[in-house]
Amino acid sequence: MNKALLSIENLACGYHQQAVVKDLSLSLAAGEIACLLGPSGCGKTTTLRAIAGLEPVSGGSIRIGDHTVSSLQQQLPPEQRGLGMVFQEHALFPHLTVADNVAFGLRKLPAGQRDERVRECLARVRLAGMETRYPHELSGGQQQRVALARALAPRPALLLLDEPFASLDLDLRRQLARELGDILREENVTALMVTHDQEEAFALADKVGVMNNGELEQWDTPYNIYHAPATRFVAEFAGYGAFLRGEVTTAHSVLTSLGEVSGRRQDTLTPGTAVDVLLRPEDLVADETATLALPVTRRQFTGATILYHLRISANETLLCQTDSHINVLEGDALHVRLGTKHLVTFLVNSE
Ligand SMILES: Nc1ncnc2c1ncn2[C@@H]1O[C@H](COP(=O)(O)OP(=O)(O)OP(=O)(O)O)[C@@H](O)[C@H]1O
């Protein structure tokens, strides 16, 4: 395991005496890419701003490398933190060319090295040849690439990105998010990005943090966030799923209205305990030979797949994702069997 490049302990910060980020701790190793995910207003941007040194902290500490950059006792100015930043709005200098924008943080380098690094960074973001253009002569996606090249050029220890593609349309956003992962890894930069988009976070990040109401509910690999959510909130926020009420029977099973649901359980609950079992769309397998047939209340066609909403009772619905060759209409029944490999359970009425 690499040494922590960013380490936050019990961070608290807010505005006008109001706590916005509460007791947040996380650690990011050198070279890792992480995403902060969470609903609007949960404190993602405030966390990023605190790391950048743009907001004072009211408790806890932030370390970058070997230095404490924020605590109650000290607050290093943003420009001394060795950070790069990319924001949602392009924030390029409109009167400077692409090359001069990228060179902005390289003023201390000799001209030859500076030009070389500008060329290298523009090639990295696939904008070679655009050096003499001005920002207004670029598309929104190209402007964000320039902003990325500018932030990367001085080789920051840590790159902070706040919804860098939010103003772009979905296709371009997904494409840039994919490329961003490659670019960051080629540059070997440690990065923390704020996003609303769970798919973007899963595709890009080594670590994902899910925030809710100022608290970090889980900081983990994308796989664990999806398959081993620590809380109901994380379970519901990070992907489709539904809960099925049941009762623990053995270490490997829960009895529900659909029969025994079995798989490895992570919890240590005793038989007889009432639980809600999380069932992701892939935990239900469409199977013509299955005896269980559930009415389709809604179908979401995506092209390659169909997400079926299946009614179990007046207040219980399950989801099943199939390839789109399995084409059942709303109102008809889909034959399914349970295909759980592991069980994620939450105590009834727990958070
Ligand atoms: N400068 C400010 N002064 C006062 N309150 C603020 C300020 N900036 C943010 N807030 C409040 O702090 C809370 C967290 O805001 P923040 O921008 O960190 O959330 P977020 O998770 O990034 O949201 P979004 O995804 O919508 O950008 C919100 O309730 C917001 O209204």
Query: In this predicted structure, what is the pLDDT of residue 244?
Result: 92
Domain 4-236 CATH superfamily: P-loop containing nucleotide triphosphate hydrolases (3.40.50.300)
For 330-350, what is the mean pLDDT?
A: 90
In percent, the amount of the chain with pLDDT more than 90 equals 74
More confident call, 9 vs 168: 9
Q: Is the CB of 46 under 6 A from ligand 1?
A: yes
Q: Kindly state the tokens that stand for 167.
A: 């103003």
Tell the residue nearest (CA) to atom 25 of ligand 1: 40
Q: Does the structure show a pLDDT above 60 at 1?
A: no
Query: What is the pTM (predicted TM-score) of this model?
Result: 0.89
* Residue 256 identity: T
Residue 291 CA to residue 25 CA, distance in Å, equals: 48
Q: Is the CB of 15 under 6 A from ligand 1?
A: yes
Q: Does the structure show a pLDDT above 80 at 89?
A: no
Q: Does the structure show a pLDDT above 80 at 237?
A: yes
Q: 97: pLDDT confidence band, cut at 50, 70 and 90?
A: very high
| Burial state string for 70-85 with b = 16 or more CB within 10 A and e = fewer than 16 | bbeeebbeeeebebbb
Residue at token pair 């040849």: 129
Per-residue model confidence as pLDDT tens digits over 128-178: 999 999 999 998 889 989 999 999 999 999 999 999 888 778 877 888 888
Q: Does the structure show a pLDDT above 80 at 349?
A: no
Q: 316: pLDDT confidence band, cut at 50, 70 and 90?
A: confident
For 85-114, what is the mean pLDDT?
A: 90
Q: Is the CB of 40 under 6 A from ligand 1?
A: yes
Q: In this structure, is the dihedral angle defined by the CA atoms of residues 152, 189, 61 and 44, taken in order, positive or negative?
A: positive
Q: 11: pLDDT confidence band, cut at 50, 70 and 90?
A: very high
Which of 46, 160, 167 best tests ligand 1's pocket when mutated (most atoms within 8 Å of CB)? 46
Per-residue model confidence as pLDDT tens digits over 263-300: 887 777 788 999 999 999 999 999 999 999 999 999 99
In percent, the amount of the chain with pLDDT more than 70 equals 99
Give the DSSP letter of residue 288.
T
Q: Kindly state the tokens that stand for 170.
A: 């979905």
Model ipTM over 0.85: yes
Q: Domain boundaries in the chain?
A: 4-236, 241-347
Residue at token pair 């992962």: 181
Query: In this predicted structure, what is the pLDDT of residue 266?
Result: 75
Q: Kindly state the tokens that stand for 284.
A: 């239900």
The region of weakest confidence among 122-126, 173-177, 189-193, 247-251 is 173-177
Query: In this predicted structure, what is the pLDDT of residue 319?
Result: 95
DSSP string, 75-139: B--GGGS-EEEE-SS----TTS-HHHHHHGGGTTS-HHHHHHHHHHHHHHTT-TT-TT--GGGS-
Tell the residue nearest (CA) to atom 1 of ligand 1: 15
Average pLDDT, the chain: 91
Contacts of 343 (CB under 8 A, 6+ apart): 252, 253, 254, 261, 262, 263, 264, 265, 266, 277, 278
What is the CA(164)–ligand 1 centre distance, in A? 17
- Judge contact between 155 and 185, C-beta under 8 A: no
Query: In this predicted structure, what is the pLDDT of residue 351?
Result: 66
Q: Kindly state the tokens that stand for 65.
A: 């490398």
Closest atom of ligand 1 relative to the 47 alpha carbon: 18
Query: In this predicted structure, what is the pLDDT of residue 90?
Result: 61
What is the CA(145)–ligand 1 centre distance, in A? 26
Query: In this predicted structure, what is the pLDDT of residue 315?
Result: 84
Query: In this predicted structure, what is the pLDDT of residue 88?
Result: 76
Q: Does the structure show a pLDDT above 90 at 45?
A: yes
- What is 241-347's CATH topology? OB fold (Dihydrolipoamide Acetyltransferase, E2P) (2.40.50)
Query: In this predicted structure, what is the pLDDT of residue 269?
Result: 79
Q: Is the CB of 42 under 6 A from ligand 1?
A: yes
- Judge contact between 299 and 307, C-beta under 8 A: yes
Considering 83-92, 252-261, 304-313, the range whose residues carry the highest mean pLDDT is 304-313
Query: In this predicted structure, what is the pLDDT of residue 167?
Result: 78
Q: Is the CB of 44 under 6 A from ligand 1?
A: yes
